[in-house]
Structure 1
């Protein structure tokens, strides 16, 4: 069995100084010709964030928090996989593997780990406790960068099953959103021994021709959102799915390019009244950016789109599944569509608020959703 090694972050002062210098020496594009976000990240919003990144942000705070949770690395199929592993103090806790997406990271889960692992300390019940495993996707964060093709959602799902086996978990459940929903759904399709069920906060399902011919009201809303995504919100995915290397150079070399590329998604994909900072704090947005900047994963993370974007929706899930639909999800799927993909859908809930980054934006609602869903699978 491959060994599991402790992992501790210790970013050098030199790396942080280099980041500050690059931010200070940035060559800025001119201001947009509109007074909103419709042309992309506005100059003023990006300059304000980068000024704080340079002069006010404290990486050591985030570094200490990650180190305090318990980070590990193990090699699976020739690639180092970085993951958080936080065990519950409660006997009988259910092992849960949680998968992030792009442009997120394990930072998305930091505010839900405590309530999930120690519910008694957060107004919950001991019987709802989880042991949390939160890996960084290959090419993301501090996981290794694939040097050959093949690391798509299907292979990642197989690797996550191996990770849970190595950790000694005979029975477990899985959860994810965005790419994490793709990986988690692939786990459901594979139905590995020991996986009791899955939960997604972005159910991956498509309409059939008959749905398009006579759509219901929920289907009309979903189709409108999907059309908006295709028309105005999917350029990043087309670039990353076709030419990830080309855009990757700028994302790896320039913190301003990286921040401009990702901040616009924090605006577009969160449930906010006009600014991403009304849904997520500057510090947590920068914590997440640092997990792209420090390990230079702008290109390697983009390649997941090249590997799997056209294969996101293959296979049916027969094991128990649950889904939570947050109202500002970018690619919503009504329950009618989801029930065809997730054939044993035991839990569904439509939430009153929240967007694409459910755990990050609405940690309390997200925790309740997981408790309610997985209570049916224990």
Structure 2
């Protein structure tokens, strides 16, 4: 993956040529990503940011391309040096790329270097979703989350893995849960850090803006209110991409337009990111954020990635119960879109094998808190390791 210097020069030129609007008329983020934040990002992106560092990190990893159902699928594949490592496929989300998962590779494949046991090792496969990063861009419709879930099983079997597990957050969580719904015999279990735990009536009520149903526990009421906020005020991008993704030419043509659109994911993530560009030290760095935006810019995948929302519009919910029957491990980070209550996780996943609430971390857990997420994946899937050499019972 070697980008020409001319492309990077053109990127910097476009950033510097941005036509800026006036600042927002409020003092908070209620009108969207604030002008000061984006201007701080743009100054750094155009002057000090170095894409070559990210490029070198990617090129140091074993990367491959394979064709599945007529589409090129890019993936990173790092095998552990430890015997009996458990194969694991990890899926990113939007606005994302494999850049989000790079920090968990070593903790998962090389656990002894991170204070864990060799018996907790994983062989790690991290694919780029169709239309994202270095994977091919679908030229016809049909690559929805269920299709991707089936393709990941093809990929793992093609790599020779007859038993494996899966992990994901954001779209990665939805795809991973759909793998659990499809329940191929090779899949031992899944780990999610954005579990779909809302029953249909609860999900519908939150979407409609109705008050919290009576009889909810304190934890359930908090989750409901957070979900309601997401639906009412926090997922404008989801509606736009779900309904009219092709109209978003602006984010394919303007680096700053793309950056602003990517920053406006959820309130807690935005607060973290804006602090980073004000000089604060957080789980993410300015380079982390720009690596992810830049890979999308350089591969021109803003719109091909956006169409994933359109593909799934009306087919599968973001946060609802989907009917996973295989073993599931759940990790709840406090600044996730909603803190999934144990009671709802137990209802959603009849074979819940792990549930833990963390003290810190948000929606982009693999990126922001890689050590914590790695610990959770190890602990959550540990009980499935004995099944690696035995038939899976469904």
Normalising TM by the smaller chain, what interval? over 0.9
**Alpha-carbon offset, residue 272 of structure 1:** 3.7
C-alpha distance 259-270 of structure 1, shift in aligned 2 (>3 A): closer
Q: Give the Å deviation of 1:199.
A: 0.4
Asked whether the 8 Å contact 2:67–2:73 carries over to 1, the reply is yes
Structure-to-structure mapping, 1:24-39, within 5 angstroms: 24-39=16-31
Residue matched to 1:346: 353
> Does structure 2 conserve the Cα–Cα contact (< 8 Å) formed by 1:270 and 1:354?
no
What residue ranges of structure 1 are gaps of 5+ in the alignment?
Answer: 1-8
Q: Secondary structure at the match of 1:192?
A: coil
Secondary structure, in 3 states, of the residue corresponding to 2:36? helix
CA contact (8 A) 2:263 2:270 kept: no
Structure 2 match to 1:231: 232
SS in 2 for 1:95: strand
Distance 1:137 1:315 in 2: 21
Match of 1:72, SS state, is: strand
For 1:37 and 1:10, the matched residues in 2 are separated by: 37
Identify the match of residue 68 of structure 1 among 43, 60, 70: 60
Deviation at 1:273, TM superposition (A): 9.7
Deviations 1:98-154 (A, max 9, x none): 001001221111111111100111111100000110001111111111111111110
Displacement of 1:290 after TM fit? 1.3
Task: Work out the number of aligned pairs and report it.
Answer: 369
Partner of 1:50: 42
- Residue 309 of structure 1: how far off its partner (Å): 4.2
Question: CA RMSD of the aligned region, Å?
Answer: 1.7
* 1:376 CA drift (Å): 1.2
- CA distance in structure 2 between the partners assigned to 1:333 and 1:302 by the alignment: 26
Runs of 4+ in 1 over 4 A off after TM superposition: 208-211
C-alpha distance in 1, partners of 2:114/2:263?
31
Q: Following the alignment from structure 1 to structure 2, what is the Cα–Cα distance between the partners of residues 287 and 165?
A: 31
Aligned counterpart for 2:81 among listed residues 84, 89, 92: 89
Alpha-carbon separation, structure 2, partners of 1:357 and 1:315 = 22
The residue that corresponds to 2:362 in the other structure is 355
Q: 1:37 to 1:279 in 2, by over 3 A?
A: farther
Q: Provide structure 2 residue ranges, at least 5 long, that are not aligned to the other structure.
A: 203-211, 386-394
**1:5 alignment counterpart:** none
Q: CA deviation at 1:264?
A: 2.7
Q: Does 2:143 correspond to 1:143?
A: no
Contact kept, 8 Å, 2:181 with 2:323, in 1: the verdict is yes
Q: Any idea what the Cα deviations from partners look like across 1:40-89, whole Å, max 9, x if unmatched?
A: 11111111111111111111110010010111111100111111111111
Any conservation in 2 of the 1:222–1:331 contact (CA below 8 Å)? yes
1:194 maps to 186
Query: Could you tell me whether the CA contact under 8 Å between 1:271 and 1:354 is conserved in 2?
Result: no
| Kept after mapping to 1: 8 A contact 2:133/2:296 | yes
1:136–1:143: 8 Å Cα contact kept in structure 2? Answer: yes
Q: For 1:273 and 1:297, how far apart are their aligned partners in 2? A: 22
CA distance in 2, matches of 1:102, 1:10: 24
Tell me, yes or no, if structure 1 residue 324 matches structure 2 residue 350: no
After superposition, what is the alpha-carbon deviation per residue over 1:223-254, rounded to whole angstroms, capped at 9, x for unaligned? 1101111222111111010001112x111110
Change in 2 beyond 3 A, CA 1:32/1:223 = same
Cα gap change, 1:316/1:68 in structure 2, threshold over 3 Å: closer, same or farther? same
> What is the deviation of 1:92?
0.8
Q: Counterpart of 1:245?
A: 246
Pick closer, same or farther for the CA change 1:276–1:215 going to 2, 3 Å.
farther
Cα distance 1:270–1:263, how it changes in 2: closer, same or farther (>3 A)? Answer: closer
User: Match of 1:290?
Assistant: 294
Contact 1:270 / 1:357 at 8 angstroms: preserved in 2? Answer: no
* Number of the residue aligned with 2:218: 217
Task: Report the 3-state secondary structure (helix = DSSP H, G, I; strand = E; otherwise coil) of the residue aligned with 1:346.
Answer: strand
CA contact under 8 A between 1:71 and 1:83: conserved in structure 2?
A: yes
**Which deviates more from structure 2 when the two are superposed, residues 132-141 or residues 329-338?**
329-338
> Aligned runs of 1:77-116 on 2, under 5 Å?
77-116=69-108
Of 35-44 and 62-71, deviating more is: 35-44
Q: Residues 376 and 180 from structure 1, CA distance in 2 versus in 1: closer, same or farther, beyond 3 angstroms?
A: same
8 Å contact kept, 2:198–2:321: no
Contact 1:50 1:256 in 2 (8 A): yes
What SS class does the counterpart of residue 183 from structure 1 fall into? helix
Distance 2:331 2:292 in 1: 23
